[in-house]
Structure 1
Amino acid sequence: MQTAFDPLAPEQLRQWAERWRDELLSNVLPWWQRQIFDAEGRVLGGRSNDGRVLEAPRSAVLGTRLLWTFASAEQRLALPPRPQLDWAWAWVSQGLTDPEHGGVFWHVDAQGQPLAAHKQVYAQAFAIYALCAAHAARPDPERRALQQALEFFELLQAHAFDQADGGCWEGFTRDWLPLPGARLSDKEPPAPKTMNTMLHVLEALTELLRHHRVPAVEARLRELLVLFIERIWLPGPRCFGLFFSHDWRVLTPQVSWGHDIETAWLLVRAADVLGDATLLARSRDLAVQVADAVLARGVAPDGSVHGEGRFDGRITDDQRHWWCQAEAVVGFWDAWQISGDPRHANAAWRAWRYIDRHHVDRVGGDWFKTLDVQGRVVAAVPKAGLWECPYHHVRSGLEMIERLAPR
């Protein structure tokens, strides 16, 4: 493919879409189909970059995202049914789901026994998201996947939302009692509300509303969309806040440019599915603002997106994470589709060029997940693990294949 990029050149767009399709079908999906299940169809703890199986807890993050990946690829690429979707669905429904109190456990062992039995709201959101994808790929008369997604939503309705100030709490005990201090990892400060959790609840409710329009889902999605526009977006530092008090005081000066550009296009998607013209206009305007802010401060000279920084522009994580680059491709392209500004189209293209040159593993398959500032693989970060999964880059590919198609 040529390095000079013209977003209005149909042949270049066709070639780019074909390259994405080939990457998914020949490199990414085959790796995950072959490498992430044991002989009984259960999810493994992970694999290192050299292919070694890792003995690690089976996270809800990995399990639910596998289901989303196999279901979405089958449905959106019109692929023939494969057993990996069935294995992933069984793993989420039986290995991860709490049969007594509902919801998914945070971590389980190889047999699906809980190792961390608390209910992280983030994980419940991904379960809803994945089950909606399974419903779209394999609809059945009983609508089992969709019904399970609705059951998970009802648990969030009953426990997860702050009725006074809005938004979602972070986590609960196994039996859904408040769990102060719940957080996604030890790297995060304690915070009762986080942008990351609310983003993925919004994402999940977007898909649930797409398949099942009920007033309760619609109301919660609208609430979250308004919160992102009016509370979580910080006009001063031009970024989304990451960690909040219960009454929306921002707790840290941290910026995650990967989350910012991901949020930008997901807000537009949510408003579009919601069908609210006013919120759609506001989301589209904000998406362009976010793209400009990320382009100004979060993109390196080689087109890659930095990990994290601070409100004053200082970079605190200069590693290149696969998910940031994948979300940048979609987020910048979405901004181009809204604004027509060639800077946004070029930013999407340059992020892809960085991915193609550095993240794609043409020997071992799939992508290297984290690189240092020189583009060298960080060996300590596995190819598959608690957080390392196919969701971001498969979704980026599916989105771009569809968006690059002739109109």
Structure 2
Amino acid sequence: MQSTLDPRSPDQLQQWAARWRDELLLNVLPWWRRHIFDAEGRVLGGRRNDGRELDAPRSAVLGTRLLWTFASAEQRLALPPGPELDWAWQWVTQGLTDPEHGGVFWHVDAQGKPLATHKQVYAQAFAIYALCAAHAARPDPEQRAVKQALGFFELLQAHAFDKADGGCWEGFTREWQPLPGARLSDKEPPAPKTMNTMLHVLEALTELLRHHRVPAVEARLRELLVLFMDRIWLPGPRCFGLFFSHDWRVLTPQVSWGHDIEAAWLLVRAADVLGDAALLARSRELAVKVADAVLARGMTPDGSVLGEGRFNGRVTDDRRHWWCQAEAVVGFWDAWQISGDPRHADAAWRAWRYIARHHVDPVGGDWFKTLDAQGRLVGTVPKAGPWECPYHHVRTGLEMIERLTP
């Protein structure tokens, strides 16, 4: 693999696009087809790095992201219809969806029996996102997927958004009553509002608006986009805050460079789908600032992106997570497309070279999910699990194929 990339060379860009296509079609997607469903098409809890089945709850995060992955790959790579999309569709709409109160459960067991019945807003966002992808892949005259996505949005409209200060809350009980202290994991501090949840609500509403121009969806997407630029972005430390009070006081000095570079390009995408020229200009300007900040503080000389740090620059997680590297590729390339600054194109290429050297598993298939600072596998993190899924790297592959192909 060449050490440098000329971002203005059509031949090199086509070669890189072909490499991404091969990675998805020959390595990533086949692994997930073979290893994440049981004989009856139900989602497994996961797989360890040695291929053994992982005995874990079936998370809404994994289930919805599988539906998004197989639907998006089928539609955007023009693949013949496969059973994986049908299995994932059935799992999300029957195994994860609450037939009584609506929304998706946080965790279910192997048969789809609820284990954690609360309604995490993060998970509802991914359900909307996945249903939109299913509609794009296999539209039907009744528009079942879009109607279900709109139903999930209406639940968020009724319960999740803060009418006083804007943004959305983290979680609710099964019956959609407020659930103080709801959070994505025990690793996170209690916070009524988080950047991560709002980023993926914004991402979901972007796709919902793309497929169905509903004024209420447009209004909420606009609100979130402005909040990201005016409240969640912190000009002083040059990063997005992660955890907030209800009135937008930042609660911790944490920085997640992976989330920063991911948000940079998703905000541009949201503004573009909104069709608002002023917000698009603002988001593009911010995307370049974010890329510069991540390049200066969160990217190492070997091309990898660090886990987390503090406002003062201190690194608190020096592991290399697959999703951070994937988001760096598309985030820096997006910045290059905006700025024309060769540093951004080089950063995207270096992130890819790190992925190819360390995360890609050419023997077992798919990618290793977490490495230590020396690029060695962290064996306690499975290849597939409640959080370990194909969404980030498949999405980056699809984005880069489209962006690199004339």
TM-score range, shorter chain: over 0.9
How far, CA to CA, are the matches of 2:4 and 2:361 in structure 1? Answer: 24
Report if aligned partners of 2:360, 2:366 keep a CA contact under 8 Å in 1: yes
Aligned to 2:389: 389
Aligned to 1:291: 291
How far, CA to CA, are the matches of 2:3 and 2:298 in structure 1? Answer: 22
2:232 equivalent to 1:232: yes
Q: Deviations over 1:4-53 (max 9, x none)?
A: 21111111101100000000000000000010000010000000000000
**TM-score, reference length from structure 1:** 1.00
Aligned to 2:301: 301
2:101 equivalent to 1:101: yes
1:3 CA displacement = 1.6
Aligned to 1:400: 400
Secondary structure of the structure 1 residue equivalent to 2:346: helix
AA in 1 matched with 2:223: E
AA in 2 matched with 1:290: V
2:52 equivalent to 1:24: no
How far, CA to CA, are the matches of 2:194 and 2:242 in structure 1? Answer: 6
Secondary structure of the structure 2 residue equivalent to 1:309: strand
Aligned to 1:6: 6
Aligned pairs (5 A) from 1:32-47? 32-47=32-47
Q: CA RMSD in A?
A: 0.4
Secondary structure of the structure 1 residue equivalent to 2:316: strand
Q: Deviations over 1:317-342 (max 9, x none)?
A: 00000000000000000000000000
Aligned to 1:128: 128
Secondary structure of the structure 2 residue equivalent to 1:142: coil
1:236 CA displacement = 0.1
How far, CA to CA, are the matches of 2:135 and 2:369 in structure 1? Answer: 29
How far, CA to CA, are the matches of 2:260 and 2:4 in structure 1? Answer: 27
AA in 2 matched with 1:386: P
How far, CA to CA, are the matches of 1:169 and 1:210 in structure 2? Answer: 24
Report if aligned partners of 2:369, 2:382 keep a CA contact under 8 Å in 1: yes
Aligned to 1:88: 88
Report if aligned partners of 2:372, 2:378 keep a CA contact under 8 Å in 1: yes
Secondary structure of the structure 1 residue equivalent to 2:295: helix
How far, CA to CA, are the matches of 2:233 and 2:89 in structure 1? Answer: 35
2:192 equivalent to 1:189: no
Aligned to 1:116: 116
**TM-score, reference length from structure 2:** 1.00
Q: Deviations over 1:243-277 (max 9, x none)?
A: 00000000000000000000000000000000000
AA in 2 matched with 1:157: Q
Aligned to 1:170: 170
How far, CA to CA, are the matches of 2:298 and 2:221 in structure 1? Answer: 28
Report if aligned partners of 2:368, 2:383 keep a CA contact under 8 Å in 1: yes
Report if aligned partners of 2:71, 2:85 keep a CA contact under 8 Å in 1: yes
Aligned pairs (5 A) from 1:190-229? 190-229=190-229
How far, CA to CA, are the matches of 1:369 and 1:104 in structure 2? Answer: 25
Report if aligned partners of 2:4, 2:349 keep a CA contact under 8 Å in 1: no
Secondary structure of the structure 2 residue equivalent to 1:55: coil
Q: Deviations over 1:223-251 (max 9, x none)?
A: 00000000000000000000000000000
How far, CA to CA, are the matches of 1:49 and 1:116 in structure 2? Answer: 26
Aligned to 2:333: 333
1:2 CA displacement = 1.8
Report if aligned partners of 2:162, 2:169 keep a CA contact under 8 Å in 1: yes
Unaligned stretches of 5+ in structure 1? Answer: none
2:378 equivalent to 1:374: no
Q: Deviations over 1:64-118 (max 9, x none)?
A: 0000000000000000000000000000000000000000000000010100000
Q: Deviations over 1:159-189 (max 9, x none)?
A: 0000000000000000000000000000000
How far, CA to CA, are the matches of 1:56 and 1:200 in structure 2? Answer: 24
Secondary structure of the structure 1 residue equivalent to 2:354: helix
How far, CA to CA, are the matches of 2:136 and 2:345 in structure 1? Answer: 30
AA in 1 matched with 2:124: Q
How far, CA to CA, are the matches of 2:37 and 2:214 in structure 1? Answer: 36
Secondary structure of the structure 2 residue equivalent to 1:115: strand
How far, CA to CA, are the matches of 1:401 and 1:188 in structure 2? Answer: 34
Report if aligned partners of 2:4, 2:346 keep a CA contact under 8 Å in 1: no
Aligned to 1:257: 257
Aligned to 2:58: 58
1:304 CA displacement = 0.3
Secondary structure of the structure 1 residue equivalent to 2:288: helix
Runs of 4+ in 1 over 6 A off after TM superposition: none
AA in 1 matched with 2:52: R
Q: Deviations over 1:274-327 (max 9, x none)?
A: 000000000000000000000000001101000000000000000000000000
How far, CA to CA, are the matches of 2:114 and 2:257 in structure 1? Answer: 33
